[in-house]
């Protein structure tokens, strides 16, 4: 493969990673700031069950609820370590938090077999419990002492301290680990040629989970992408073992996190831990493969689900700079643009603070001001000083509630999605009749995404699709896939044929869901 293709492909994949990580990175910095400035060291320690048996289940539950990814979890893990939490619990949280969040669980429950998602959740609980217990048993002296931290005063200064802490979290050593994680993605994009993983997860391939373990440890996957890929693997009859491996090692682990573990716990424990983790995940994967295999699903001979880990360009690609710009532009969604701009601002403020105030005098000044309560003129209830635990509880509950609200925003009403799909179908009709390949390459994945969102939206709003409508949609998505392959092969006749079939299937699907 041409070195320029490898380099540009690698840069594109790194750019896409940074774009996708924006929203969950902000959540990661916010949670780390709340741990540091509201909960404090003791509060964080208690939140994770202290030294009781509850530490691992609590880490799992908190990880399931918080919408962070494997990059956003790094600043949180740093705060947990500074709070004297055991290594096993930190790694358990670090592994689980990126696997699921309320939006992705909703997606998985609707598009995959709910039993499979439940088993995957329980599988992840088993993995983190075993790995957490194993770590604490093997390396009992690995817990760092609690770093002293002055209490944050209440009121506007507390809000200011959280905001400043967020900026400091962003411009800290945690960002270096994030950069290393992104470099891992770039390494994959550099080394793996376009489409080379299309047969990596075949149901009949006994080595599929092992291949997936090798790839996904370096890859970065957001919880949403992980669940989309798992749903796609179920729909295409791919290896269930490979999909569980992808979920735990792909969404849970990345190169930056591994380097952080090495830096904090040294090589030997890290190697033992990662080896045990891979073995346990592979063991569970092979165990659940046969029982969870969906019945009546034809096994596809290949899948495009893992194309995102490979180089985006074929070996003979030209015009790489323009193509890279186009791919990155097409990867931008409104929420990611907003989050990306916010990330840049937070990073810039963090850099500004680190440059002008290297001794952290501003934060010290902010938190050392004497607490002052204005004497209430009337009832004391009007000016209650809320304890940090209440503020932290409201913050976490607010984050979870925001995730639930985000579900309804992310999955708009069926009627709106139907209109959107109708407009895209009209765009595609023109494109396949003219042989406008780039246009089709742009619209087909968007249409597939809307198709999946429609199912979840109908479920969320209490009107799940019946079997008739579901199969109509399945037929339409199959036609889209066939069209996608015709586009790949640049076969105009096939594209027109599958395009026409797709248009007919879409009309039938629209009629089937007319009452929704």
Partner 1 sequence: MIGSLSKARTLTRWLAVFLCCLLGCQLASDVSEEEHESHEHFPPHWPHTIFKASDRLSELIANPAATSPQTALSSQISPQQEFIDLIGWLPILAADSDLDRATFDRIDSASSKLQLRWQEPQPKDLPTLVNDPDAREIITWLADICHQEQSRMQQHLNSP
- Which residues here bind partner 1, judged by CB under 8 A? 187-188, 191-199, 211, 214-215, 218, 267, 296, 298, 300-302, 467-468, 471-472, 474-475, 481-482, 485, 489, 505, 508, 512
Least CB distance to partner 1 at residue 358 (A)? 25
Tokens read off for 100: 């699921």
Is 52 or 315 the residue whose CB approaches partner 1 more closely? 315
Contact 112, 234 (CB under 8 A): yes
* Residues constituting the chain: 516
Token pair 């090692």 is found at 249
State the nearest-atom distance from the C-beta of 307 to partner 1, in Å.
11
CA distance 260 to 32: 16
Q: Tell which residue, 393, 467, 483, 399, has the closest CA to residue 435.
A: 483
Judge contact between 17 and 150, C-beta under 8 A: no
Least distance to partner 1 from the beta carbon of 475, Å?
Answer: 4
- Give the nearest distance from C-beta 165 to partner 1 in angstroms: 31
CA distance 90 to 44: 12
Which lies closer to partner 1 via its Cβ, residue 194 or residue 221?
194
Nearer to partner 1, 315 or 419 (CB): 315
Q: Measured from the CB of residue 6, what is the shortest distance to partner 1 in angstroms?
A: 10
Q: How far is the CB of 184 from partner 1 (least distance, A)?
A: 9
Residue closer to partner 1, measured from CB, 61 or 196: 196
DSSP for 233-248 reads HHHTT--HHHHHHIII
Residues near 169 by Cβ (< 8 Å), separated by ≥ 6? 28, 29, 32, 33, 36, 75, 350
Calpha distance 282→302 (Å, rounded):
22
Phi and psi at residue 200, in whole multiples of 5°?
Answer: -80, -10
Q: Which is nearer to partner 1, 385 or 471 (CB)?
A: 471
165 closest CA partner among 397, 346, 302: 346
The token pair that represents 243 in the structure block? 């999909």
Nearer to partner 1 by C-beta: 293 or 508?
A: 508
Do residues 60 and 101 lie in contact, with contact meaning Cβ atoms separated by under 8 Å?
A: no
Nearer to partner 1 by Cβ, of 29 and 313: the residue is: 313
Q: Which is nearer to partner 1, 195 or 445 (by Cβ)?
A: 195
CA 281 to chain centre: 19
Q: Is there a contact between 152 and 40 (Cβ–Cβ < 8 Å)?
A: yes
Give the nearest distance from C-beta 175 to partner 1 in angstroms. 20
Rounded least distance, CB 311 to partner 1, Å: 10
């Amino acid at each position: 493969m041409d070195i320029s293709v490898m380099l540009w492909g690698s840069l594109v994949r790194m750019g896409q990673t940074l774009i996708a990580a924006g929203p969950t990175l902000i959540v990661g910095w916010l949670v780390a700031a709340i741990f540091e400035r509201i909960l404090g060291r003791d509060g964080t320690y208690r939140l994770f069950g202290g030294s009781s048996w509850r530490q691992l289940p609590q880490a799992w539950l908190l990880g399931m609820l918080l919408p962070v990814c494997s990059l956003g979890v790094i600043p949180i893990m740093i705060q947990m370590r500074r709070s004297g939490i055991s290594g096993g619990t930190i790694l358990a949280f670090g592994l689980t938090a990126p696997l699921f969040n309320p939006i992705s669980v909703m997606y998985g429950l609707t598009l995959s077999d709910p039993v499979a998602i439940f088993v995957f959740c329980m599988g992840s609980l088993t993995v983190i419990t075993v790995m957490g217990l194993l770590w604490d048993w093997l390396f009992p002296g690995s817990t760092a002492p609690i770093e002293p931290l002055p209490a944050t005063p209440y009121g506007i200064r507390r809000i200011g301290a959280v905001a400043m802490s967020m900026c400091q979290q962003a411009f800290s050593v945690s960002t270096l680990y994030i950069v290393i994680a992104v470099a891992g993605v770039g390494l994959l994009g550099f080394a793996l040629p376009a489409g080379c993983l299309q047969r990596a997860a075949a149901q009949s391939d006994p080595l599929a989970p092992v291949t997936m373990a090798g790839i996904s440890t370096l890859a970065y996957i957001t919880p949403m992408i992980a669940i989309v890929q798992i749903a796609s693997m179920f729909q295409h009859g791919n290896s269930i073992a490979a999909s569980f491996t992808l979920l735990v090692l792909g969404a849970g682990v990345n190169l930056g996190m591994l380097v952080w573990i090495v830096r904090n716990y040294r090589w030997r424990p890290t190697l033992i831990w990662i080896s045990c983790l891979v073995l346990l995940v592979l063991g569970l994967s092979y165990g659940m493969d046969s029982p969870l295999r969906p019945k009546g699903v034809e096994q596809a001979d290949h899948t495009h689900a893992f194309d995102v880990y490979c180089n985006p360009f074929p070996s003979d690609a030209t015009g790489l700079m323009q193509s890279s710009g186009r791919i990155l532009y097409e990867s931008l969604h409104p929420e990611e643009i907003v989050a990306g701009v916010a990330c840049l601002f937070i990073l810039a403020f963090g850099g500004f603070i680190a440059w002008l105030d290297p001794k952290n005098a501003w934060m010290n000044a902010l938190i050392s001001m004497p607490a002052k309560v204005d004497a209430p003129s009337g009832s004391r209830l009007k000016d209650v000083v809320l304890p940090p635990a209440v503020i932290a509880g409201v913050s976490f509950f607010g984050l979870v509630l925001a995730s639930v609200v985000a579900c309804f925003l992310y999955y708009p009403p069926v009627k709106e999605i139907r209109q959107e799909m109708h407009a895209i179908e009209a765009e595609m009709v023109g494109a396949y009749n003219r042989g406008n390949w780039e246009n089709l390459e742009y619209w087909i994945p968007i249409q597939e995404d809307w198709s999946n969102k429609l199912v979840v939206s109908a479920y969320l709003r209490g009107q799940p699709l019946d079997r008739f409508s579901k199969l109509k949609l399945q037929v339409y998505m199959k036609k889209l896939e066939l069209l996608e392959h015709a586009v790949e092969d640049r076969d105009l006749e096939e594209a027109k044929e599958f395009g026409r079939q797709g248009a007919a299937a879409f009309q039938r699907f629209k009629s089937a869901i007319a009452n929704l």
